[in-house]
Amino acid sequence: MEDKTKEELIEEMRVLKTRIADIQDLECKYKSAEIELKKAKEELEVETWGLAKTNEAIKFIYKELDKKNKELQTLDKLKTNFISTASHELRTPLTTIIESISQVLDEIHGKITAEQREFLSICLEDVDRLSRLVNDLLDISKIEAGRFKLTKQQVDIVSLAKMVSVLFHPKAKSIGLELRENFCSQTAMAYVDKDSVIRVFTNLISNALKFTDKGYIEILVMDKPTCVECCISDTGRGISEEDMPRVFGEFEEFGNREGVREKGTGLGLSICKRIIELHQGEIWAESTLNKGTKFIFTLPKYTENKIQEE
């Protein structure tokens, strides 16, 4: 081997020092990475423990929610049964009271004074309202219990709407309102429970008359390819934007009630919604405060095959 010059030895020493420095730097980085990995491992172990505890907590919460849900279902069933039983028990005496007051007002049992007639008329009005409330409660309880049965048949919704409209013309005229009809075709057939759909039209028109001070109420029926669409619109007080989400709730009353012609049960719109949903239809409201309201509902059409299947 040739002897190396002083300069070459110095260069080799410099290269060697550089390599030693690189090795030391790598060793330092390795130790740092090792510390970070150890720290990450500890954090991961803590997180794993936390997730396990969270999982246990979630399972416990779900168990408690399931328990509470069953308790609520039991209470709801008890409530429904109580309402149904109480309503049935109230219906008979209410019918007797209404009949008795009516007979006294008709002077079947003797003459009455004008003052007596006035007080008895107030009593009859309140008992009638209570009777409607009882009937509505019975219907709600039947629907919730799945005992509200529909007897469906092919029905001409235009003829049905005309029939209901005729019943309300005298009342609308007596309070200075126009009751309009807008039927887009001669007939509009749908497979429905006739009495239930009459109930929907009656509730919606009654509601419109109650909250309309001037103008008109319009009954519209449109025959569409897959459904019959109906709309009861008015030029009345309307519903505020904040009240709209609760419009089909039970016992809901909106806005200022002063000047309302009749007190309702607060169940009419809720019953309408449930009846339409039992028909697999849709119902919704559109309203502007002090400008009027529209209640629109659809009744799906059935093919002959679907009718046979049902």
In which domain, by residue range, is 4 found? 1-148
Residue 2, pLDDT score: 53
Place of tokens 């009749």: 262
Residue 83, pLDDT score: 65
For each successive 10 residues of the chain (310 residues), what is the average pLDDT? 70 80 81 85 86 85 85 74 68 84 88 89 84 80 80 94 94 94 93 94 93 94 95 94 87 56 71 94 94 95 79
Residue 84, pLDDT score: 65
Same domain, 144 and 179: no
Asked which of 125, 148, 171 is the last residue of a domain, the reply is 148
Letter string b/e over residues 10-39, b meaning 16 or more CB atoms within 10 A of that residue's CB: eeeeeeeeeeeeeeeeeeeeeeeeeeeeee
Same domain, 4 and 141: yes
Same domain, 8 and 144: yes
Asked which of 148, 163, 190 is the last residue of a domain, the reply is 148
Residue 256, pLDDT score: 47
CATH at residue 134:
1.10.287.130
Residue 292, pLDDT score: 93
Give the distance from CA 151 to its chain's centroid: 24
Asked which of 122, 148, 174 is the last residue of a domain, the reply is 148
Give the residue among 143, 141, 129, 148 at the shortest CA–CA distance from 84: 141
- Global pTM? 0.66
State both tokens at 105.
Answer: 């007002």
- Count of the separate structural domains present in the chain: 2
* pLDDT tens profile 72-92: 877 777 666 766 676 667 777
Same domain, 303 and 193: yes
Same domain, 182 and 59: no
Same domain, 160 and 240: yes
Give the distance from CA 219 to its chain's centroid: 23
Q: What is the CA angle 207-227-291, rounded to 5?
A: 35
Same domain, 13 and 73: yes
* pLDDT tens profile 122-133: 888 888 878 877
Q: How far is CA 265 from CA 197, 250, 262, in A?
A: 19, 9, 10
